[in-house]
Structure formats: structure tokens, C-alpha cells
Structure 1
Amino acid sequence: MSPVSRGRKPAKRPKSQRSLRPSPPLDVARVERWPKLLHGPIELSDCVVQGQVDQDLVVLAAKLTAGKRSVGVEVVVNDREVDVIDLHAVPEDALAVLRNGFEVTEAPLTPEEFRSQVEAALVVRADSDRWYEDHAPAIFRLRSESDLPERATRLRHWLGLPEYEPVPRSAVADPLPLVLPPPGPVTGMWLAVALEEPEPAIWRRLLVRSDVTLAGLHRILAAAFDREEQQDHRFETAYGGFGADIQGGEGDRLDDEATLGQVVTVPGHRMVYEAGMWEHWIRVERLAAVPEVAGCLGGERAAPPSECENVQSYELLMEALRHPYDEEDEDLIEELGPGFDPEWFDKEVVDERLARLG
């Protein structure tokens, strides 16, 4: 007769003799099972932002912990809107999305900074979805085939973000002008700057002060990309547009009225820079010590020559350079870029130009 049948509890075996059954792996693939993963108050830690220097794409990654269970969350932000939300059973897997096979810059974020950037990207996604729903239903249906909205809802809940009612504003529309925040402590900023087109990317990595005005940043960018300072330009930021000519866009303000550190503050923050008919994206990669003068940390490929006013003329030049001995192409090269080498880049030359700015 067993001890249980006699009304006694069976004797406990020593821990060393108990069968060690591995706990079942977390199922993080199906979003309907996400609520079962984490219960109770959630702690946010190990927050980072990752980016490639020549790509306008960032990964926001962090560890979510509730009780004894932790998962990694990965939020891919592409062109300012959320593109992917994934969970990882091993938290470190979320922190290594871009590390394998890419030149990646990574910077830590506070939990508040992580929440702020995720929320901003979710808002842009929701607004653009609403705009496509009203103006381009076919595209909206394609965008709605994924379970991203359900993932976004769950992530908002876990991060404690408020619900948001989208407005039909496309992702490329000018942001609504807002009151500029006061300048914060002065710091150095690593900026990744690249032309939106063509491919492969034409990019520079620059070290600048956060208290430089956007007008001063335009001078730095003109030197980095070998352009005339007088060229028409505009910065598109989360606080509206800024340029040398306030007629450049509705609601625009002068670019000497704002500093870099007022419109982008932490790693991962981005804005758009237009010079003539060329569009660039600018992203803060990391914060650093305050430099005495702006400097160039790296780059690839020569900026388009001044004779190339847009992407189309640059591509014509690239095609002509493939057949330099063709008579028509020879004339085109002479017109658009005599002596131009698209692969040329010299960091020391860029630094010399920046040094002359004072």
C-alpha cells in the first residue's frame, strides 16, 4: 500500500534526485499568445538604439521583465514609422539584430527615451495608415495584411503608452509646428548624414556641437558635401521646417532660430535636410564630448558635382562614365562632371574645409 493510500504524504526526494524537466520554450511568434508571456508590472531595461551609418533605418531594442520572466523586444523604425515589432525569447537576441554582418553604431537609451521614440514611430505609422485608408485603399489593404496593429496595441500596453486616435496625415507630410523645447546641456553629437538617393549611399559621419544653430549646421553640411553655402536649403524636423527663407514652406521658421540640440536630442532622433533638389536624412548616432570644432569621422563616395542639379542628371553622368570614350558620353561628362571620380573621398580634405569655418 502506498504512503498516500495510508493517508500519509510521500517523503520528498532531495533536490538532487528530482527530475529536472526543462521549461517549455516561450512562444513569441503568435501575437495572440503575447498576453500570456508577461503578467504584472513590467520593468524596461537594456534599452539601445542601433543603426547603420549609410541607412535611414534604426532598431530600438530592450528587455521587458515581469516577475521572473524576461523577453526581448525589437522595434524596427524605417522612414520614421514602425515597420516591424518582434519579441525574442532570449532578450539578448533583440539586442543583436543588426550586429551580425553590418557596421553598426549602437547607443544606450534611458527607458523614457526608448518609450518616447517607440511612441513617436507608432504615431507616424498610425497616421500614415489612416491616410492610406482614406486615399489609397489598395495600399492600405497591403499594409494591413500583417498583425502589426495587434502587436502595436500590445506593446503600447506593456510600455504604458496612452492610446492614440490617428489623423489622416501621411508620413511624408510636414509635421505640425510645435513650441521648441529650451536648449539642454551642450554635448557633442555623432551625426550620420546621407543622400536619400542614389544607391550606393553617399554619406558622411560628422562630430558637431549640440548648440550649433541649424544655420551653422547648414554651413557644416555644405563643407562636408563640397557645396556652396548660399544654396537654398531647408530642415524638416518634428518641430516644423527651418530654412534661410521663411517662404520655403508654410509655417517654416528661420534656421538661425533653433539649435541642433533642440530639434534632435538623443541617439536615434532624425530629421530631413534639403539642399537644392537633393534630400538627405540626418540621424543622431551617439552623444560624445563637446568638440572644439566640427570634424569628419568618416564617409564614402564623392558628393554629386555642382553641375548635377538632381538625381536624374547624376544618373546620366554615372551612365556616361561607364562609356567614357563614346563621343556623346564624352560631351555629357564634360558638361556635368569633368574629372569627377564618384568613389573619391578624403576625410582630411573634409576636415580642412570644416576647420576653415572656425
Structure 2
Amino acid sequence: MSRKLLPILMMMVVLSPLAIDIYLPSMPEMAREFSVSDTQVQSTLVLFIFSMGIGQILIGPLADRFGRRPIALAGICLYIASSLFAVSVVQFEYLQLARVLQGIAACATSIVVFSAVRDRFNAQQSAHYYSYLNGVICVVPALAPTLGGFLALHFGWRSTFLFMAIVAILVLFVVAFKLPETRPEHANNHTALYRWARYQPILSNSQFVFYASTCMIGMASILTYVSYAPSWIIKHLELSELTFSYLFGFNALINIAACFLAPKVIKKIGNHLTVSYALWLMVLSALLQFLVQLLTLENSLLAAILFMLPMLFLCVGFALLLGPATSMALSAFGERAGTASALLGCIQMSGAALLTGLLQQTHLLAPNASIVMIGGGSILLIILMWLPNVKHWHQQSVTE
């Protein structure tokens, strides 16, 4: 059953990155159509991530109470409806609302996917499966922007949201007929859904807080890169949407390779050391971006390539980081996997959205914003891992 479960989870996990990446090449065109700024269009991405995180606080306990399967079905249906809503909007504020609803829907499938892995596998196995799922997630950025650029070029940016709805309909049929219930039979279903006692044991666990924060910094770094890159390359450097798609897709291909290599790295050196190496790769990314910006470049294509090159190290670092960090954050919470996954997702995604949103208010250019977010966050975490008096925050724990 476990082997049959993984392909279903892989299909489900596609929905979230698809809603992020397929419309990236269309963002400058959307700004022109709605007569809004680049920052306002970037807010559709930030709002999606933020609502995806906040929604998990509400949906996580529901997954523990009513099971993974009904939550997955409800989330996919909302994803379809919100995607179709985005297709029909004529005012920018309604597009923002559609993205909030889409984020809540995507969070339901995300909770089910990661809770199901924790339901069926121990911490070390979970890290491997999380990395494989992250590998599938990384396939989408390699393909979706090119597909989105093609759809927008021939049918307009609204066709990208229609495509999201069509994919979700296909996933709905698979989940309806194939997804088993994975919630532990001995889970406690009689306590109140929303009360501090459900969250307090998780938030008081220092290892959970540290690794949830690590996931948040990693996600904020990726979100900064993804939200700033389209405007920088298409509008500032005046390159085409397809050129952006090819550059973005190449980085995503490297990310894919890193995600599928990650389980081997984790198996060889362990979760803790993998996280440490991943953070150092992110520091290297920020340092290279700083050095690149010292150059004076007249050729726009070369400038775009050199902007994207340091992001390769971010992509590899993030691929190595997320699997072991997620596994170690959730390792102590077997029966509360849904609630723990919800809190992890909330901190990771909503926290990342807030950090990125605050960064966007500074009006830093894309390269400088990337340096601040990627370098600043990873250096802070590395310093904490060096401090001897807080080793218990990140040390390997015993699996429940």
C-alpha cells in the first residue's frame, strides 16, 4: 500500500507549485492590464503563500479529526472553483481574493500529503519521501513557466488559471477513487478542534520551532527569488517571457536533480549535517550575487544569466534543506501529525510571505533583495547552530 500511495501524493503535491509558477511570465502583462504596479502583482503570489500557511491552522486539526481523505477532496474542489473565479475576474481586488481562496485550497492538499507520509513512515524514511515529493514539486518550475508563457502568448494570461482548474479536475478523479485513508486509527478524535492545548506541546518543542524557522527562511528565500525575477528580467532587462522561462526552467532542472540526489545525501551524512550544508550553499548564493552586481554589464542577456547563476546554489541548497528540516520538525509528533504539519506549514509559508512582503516595501532592486533575504536568513541560522548553549534546538531527536 505504501508504494501505491506515493504516486497519488505526487499528483496531489503538484497543485501548489503549479499555482505559483505557471503564471510567472504573465505577471508584467497582468500589471499592464489591471494598471497596477509590479509590487501589487507580486502580492498575488505573496497572498497565495500567506493564505496557504494561515489556512493550515484551520485545516490541520480537521485532517486529524475527520481524516486525510475528505480534507483532500474538499481542498481540490475549492482549488477548482477558485481557479475558475480567477479566470473570470475584471477587477484586480477580485484576483487577489481568488488567490487567497486558492491558497487555502492548496494548503488542504499539502497537509494531507505531508501528514500521510508521516502516518506511514518513520522519521528517516519520511525525510527520503519528503525529498522525492520535493523533487516532483521542483519539476513544475522547470516546465510550468514555459507552458504558462505559451498559453499566455496564444490565449492570454487567464488561460493559465483555466489550465490549473483542468489539472485539479484530473487530480480530483484520482484522489476520489484511489487515495486511502492514512490517519492512525488510535488518533484522539474527542478533544476540541481549536484550543491552545493542541498547539502548546508542539510550539514548546524547541527542535520543532528551530526547524520550522529554518523551513521559513528557506521558503522566504525562494519566494523572494520567484517574485522578483520576472519583473527584473522581463521589465528591467527587457528580455522576452520565453527567455525568462528558459532561464528559470534551467535553474529548476538543477533543483530537480538536487531533490532526487538529496535522499542519498541524507542517508550518507544524516539530517542535521545536510541542513548545515544546505545553509552554507545559500550563503554562497548570496555572496555570488553580491560579487556579480559589482560588475558593469551592457548586455541584457548576460546580465540576466549572471543574475540567475547564483540562484543555482539557492535552488540546490533549498532542495537539500527542506526534506530533512521538515522531517526533524515533525519527528516527535506521530499522532498529531496533521496539527504539527499545519503549524509547520503556517510558520513556513505565512512567515515567508510576511518576510517577503516586508522586503518588497523597501523598494530594493531584485539582486539586493535576494542578497538580504538569502544571505541574512541563512547566516542567522548558521550562527544559532554554532552556539553551544542552544544545541538542543537542532540536535537529532529520537523518533516517536
> TM-score normalised by the shorter chain: which range applies?
under 0.3
Q: Which has the higher strand share?
A: 1
**Higher relative contact order structure (alpha carbons within 8 Å, sequence separation ≥ 6):** 2
Give TM-score, length-normalised by structure 2.
0.21
TM-score, normalised relative to structure 1? 0.23
